[in-house]
A and B are shown apart, each in its own frame.
Chain A
């Protein structure tokens, strides 16, 4: 292990033309650490996640990442081939809309196996065994391996996304509102599963959510965003139990009132 952060963001800023996406975001994330990014709709959470995951190009600032070989790289300097390799090996991305994170016309087994095949796996039996194993770990019945996610419930689709991402043993997983839109009981089961896997695998996670209960359950640290800026950051329990900023107090109390 090392004390060097896994990922460091410095002065990350994104403008969409005139409109501000996020501004001057700076933080470090260590291996195994779960960071929640909270804030109301439009506060810049998804923009920040997009910048970190190299899906958006920053207007200013930089992200550095410590690769599997230990080299710390400026993500804007990766070649397209390196970037894609990173995205499908050492990283995962679980989307709110499963249709963006899955291939809806491909079987559950094929969805999980895709990353393995992308990095050169060419033994059908081994690919299928790995897919079965991961489907079991996310509590999808073995008998559904050849069904497409079109026939899956919302909760199953999210669990399939998780299996599809974790099959290459990533160290960092981005999640954008992974539980919103699901029924409360389904949410609870999914959160439980995520919490278990994160602890077991020692994953670092950056999870975007507008739901402070999700942040409280999963994260070690929290970053509160408002109008594109980080206005408060700290240990999750401290921030939620004793918010400094008036805005955070409002957020917390609206949850309590809900």
Chain B
């Protein structure tokens, strides 16, 4: 996929597999992909800066990650191994259909294993397993502008970014503390990238913010409806905004994962019955299954529960 960033490579055009004659490689035409790659290169050169791009219609509705899909299409190469997650899970309708889309239009191999993937498209989570050099994480972004909550005028937010005038971001955090006694923003928690631009990390839980900091993988963000691409290059400083007397903290969970016993992971609440029964399990399904395959057991895992069969 490093190769895929180059415009001059002879990519397979219409000859990927039998069922794909109707499509160009990865659906988008080469000119569009070049345009998106130029936006991505600019985004990498200016970490955290929102680069406008001419977002295309994709054969799926907005809200289904059309920005992420276009970024993925533009950087995907024939040798890539693709993983797609939605809220940490590989098997939601959204994740499955995007994975199928690229299997069909690009003929690439797919996986659910974080370790095996060279490119991971995600909606709202970062895998628990640390990412490594050479991997690319593509985020689906609904609203790229972190200042929009307080300043709806785009002419003004653009100026604020240009001047690194980010006091407003702290007004938002101030309001949180005034109202809730602590910074209650738990998703889309604003970060400062490379000491310069303030960026919305997309609606990932703030739990994942520390994973963005000095991450070995390249992180790309695509907002389809809003026509913006931004990036965090590998090994780049990403700092969550806070106050001196209210420092940034991630969520913690009282109990370990009920299935794999992992501590320190991000858990989802699963309702078991209509009598208030519930359990907390890893949101990252691949992480959870790997642990169970390695013999780890949580409090509610059935004996002999084989990895991958629980959900």
B309 sits at the interface (CB 8 A): no
B245 sits at the interface (CB 8 A): yes
Query: From residue B241, how far is it (CB to closest CB) to chain A in Å?
Result: 9
A137 sits at the interface (CB 8 A): no
B179 sits at the interface (CB 8 A): yes
B294 sits at the interface (CB 8 A): no
A92 sits at the interface (CB 8 A): no
Report how far A123 CA is from B247 CA in the complex, Å: 10
Contact A109 B174 (CB under 8 A): yes
B216 sits at the interface (CB 8 A): no
B21 sits at the interface (CB 8 A): no
Determine the chain B residues whose CB is within 8 A of the CB of A241 once the complex forms. Answer: none
A19 sits at the interface (CB 8 A): no
Q: Which residue of B lies closest to A127 (CB)?
A: B174
Main secondary structure of the interface of B (DSSP, over half): helix
Contact B178 A123 (CB under 8 A): no
Binds A, one of B7-15, B164-172, B272-280: B164-172
Q: Which of A81, A119, A124 makes the CB contact (< 8 A) with B174? A: A124
Contact A117 B178 (CB under 8 A): no
Q: Which of B203-258 contact A (CB under 8 A)?
A: 243-246
Contact B175 A106 (CB under 8 A): yes
Q: Which of A81, A118, A145 makes the CB contact (< 8 A) with B167? A: A118
Report how far A109 CA is from B178 CA in the complex, Å: 8
Determine the chain B residues whose CB is within 8 A of the CB of A123 once the complex forms. Answer: 243-245
A-B contact count (CB 8 A): 56
Indicate with 1 or 0, residue by residue over B153-184, a CB within 8 angstroms of chain A CB atoms.
00000010001010110110011011100000
Contact A125 B245 (CB under 8 A): yes
B300 sits at the interface (CB 8 A): no
Contact A117 B170 (CB under 8 A): yes
Indicate with 1 or 0, residue by residue over B114-128, a CB within 8 angstroms of chain A CB atoms.
000000000000000
Determine the chain B residues whose CB is within 8 A of the CB of A105 once the complex forms. Answer: 150
A8 sits at the interface (CB 8 A): no
Query: From residue B26, how far is it (CB to closest CB) to chain A in Å?
Result: 42
CB within 8 Å for A81 and B171 given contacts A124-B177, A124-B245, A146-B179: no
Q: Which of B159, B165, B168, B246 makes the CB contact (< 8 A) with A124? A: B246
Q: Which residue of B lies closest to A120 (CB)?
A: B167
A10 sits at the interface (CB 8 A): no
Size of interface on A: residues with Cβ below 8 Å to B: 24
Contact A114 B245 (CB under 8 A): no
Q: Which of A84, A109, A127 makes the CB contact (< 8 A) with B165? A: A84
A21 sits at the interface (CB 8 A): no
Contact A107 B175 (CB under 8 A): yes
Query: From residue B309, how far is it (CB to closest CB) to chain A in Å?
Result: 48
Query: From residue A126, how far is it (CB to closest CB) to chain B in Å?
Result: 8
A95 sits at the interface (CB 8 A): no
Determine the chain A residues whose CB is within 8 A of the CB of B245 once the complex forms. Answer: 123-125
Contact A114 B179 (CB under 8 A): no
Determine the chain B residues whose CB is within 8 A of the CB of A106 once the complex forms. Answer: 150, 171, 175
Determine the chain A residues whose CB is within 8 A of the CB of B168 once the complex forms. Answer: 114, 117-118
Query: From residue A102, how far is it (CB to closest CB) to chain B in Å?
Result: 12
Report how far A146 CA is from B175 CA in the complex, Å: 8
Contact B178 A107 (CB under 8 A): yes
Determine the chain B residues whose CB is within 8 A of the CB of A128 once the complex forms. Answer: 174, 178
Query: From residue B138, how far is it (CB to closest CB) to chain A in Å?
Result: 33
Determine the chain B residues whose CB is within 8 A of the CB of A146 once the complex forms. Answer: 178-179
Report how far A80 CA is from B165 CA in the complex, Å: 11
Determine the chain A residues whose CB is within 8 A of the CB of B167 once the complex forms. Answer: 114-115, 117-120
Query: From residue B170, how far is it (CB to closest CB) to chain A in Å?
Result: 4
Give the top 10 A-B pairs by smallest Cβ distance, nearest first: A118-B167, A117-B167, A117-B170, A124-B243, A123-B244, A146-B178, A125-B245, A110-B175, A81-B163, A110-B174
What are 21 inter-chain pairs, A to B, with CB distance below 8 A?
A81-B165, A105-B150, A106-B150, A106-B171, A107-B175, A107-B178, A110-B178, A113-B171, A114-B168, A114-B171, A115-B167, A117-B168, A119-B167, A122-B244, A123-B244, A124-B243, A124-B246, A125-B245, A128-B174, A128-B178, A145-B178
Residue ranges of B at the interface with A (Cβ–Cβ < 8 Å): 150, 159, 163, 165, 167-168, 170-171, 174-175, 177-179, 243-246
Residue ranges of A at the interface with B (Cβ–Cβ < 8 Å): 80-81, 84, 103, 105-107, 109-110, 113-115, 117-120, 122-125, 127-128, 145-146
Q: With contacts A110-B174, A124-B246 known, what are 8 further pairs, Cβ within 8 A?
A: A80-B159, A80-B163, A103-B171, A110-B171, A117-B168, A117-B174, A124-B244, A125-B245
